[in-house]
A and B are shown apart, each in its own frame.
Chain A
Amino acid sequence: KAGVTQTPRYLIKTRGQQVTLSCSPISGHRSVSWYQQTPGQGLQFLFEYFSETQRNKGNFPGRFSGRQFSNSRSEMNVSTLELGDSALYLCASSLAETFNEKLFFGSGTQLSVL
């Protein structure tokens, strides 16, 4: 079974631009979560999507948004990029059938904002 796939692997953007990252979950997984990883703040939860609906959201500004498609694939978008948005963005999928949310992570998209 294929793992969680994130594209692109690396991305370089300039301040003010917007960016879209993509995540394909493990087949059969209905929940997709996004996390931001930086050296200073560590791993921070962005949001979770389940059945095309955002059902949980972390403490990030409205510039960060996401969506989930009917095939469970998810995208996240960051508008008006700032230097501080440079980070590794990790996507995770889970079955979302019980409270034991075993998350399976992709390798991430490394975003650099210049």
Chain B
Amino acid sequence: GEDVEQSLFLSVREGDSSVINCTYTDSSSTYLYWYKQEPGAGLQLLTYIFSNMDMKQDQRLTVLLNKKDKHLSLRIADTQTGDSAIYFCAESLANQAGTALIFGKGTTLSVSS
């Protein structure tokens, strides 16, 4: 079945770049997403990439997609303490009956000053 895997923890120093990695299994996924969850809050959509793209940049965020290896990464440049949160990778399984997102278990990013 479909599965999305992420490493569980990442610790970086303020000002460094963070790279969060994700692998997925469903090659028919049309869109791949990155969401952020802060304590006590719901999920906030950070960015997404269409499956026929290799890269997407949005301010401090860069998404890289290697469709052959089914590998997705999120790079956060100049990481700040406010970036500390859980980051979820998700794939969209579009079908005629609608869509559902399959999420990874999340990567906890800890940023130290």
Contacts and interface: CB of A to CB of B under 8 A. Distances in A.
Nearest to B90: A43
Interface in B81-97: 88, 92, 94-95, 97
**Size class of the contact patch on chain A:** 20 to 34
Given A42-B103, A48-B100, A56-B100, A102 B48 contact: yes
Contact of B105 (A42, A58, A107): A42
A74 interface: no
B10 interface: no
B45 A107 contact: no
A43 B103 contact: yes
Nearest to A49: B98
A22 interface: no
Contact of B42 (A50, A55, A108): A108
Interface of A: 4, 31, 33, 35, 42-45, 48, 50, 55-56, 58, 90, 92, 96, 99-108
Given A55-B97, A56-B98, A101-B99, 19 more contacts: A31-B98, A42-B104, A42-B105, A45-B102, A90-B43, A99-B31, A99-B92, A99-B94, A100-B30, A100-B48, A100-B50, A100-B92, A101-B101, A102-B33, A103-B43, A103-B45, A103-B101, A106-B42, A107-B42
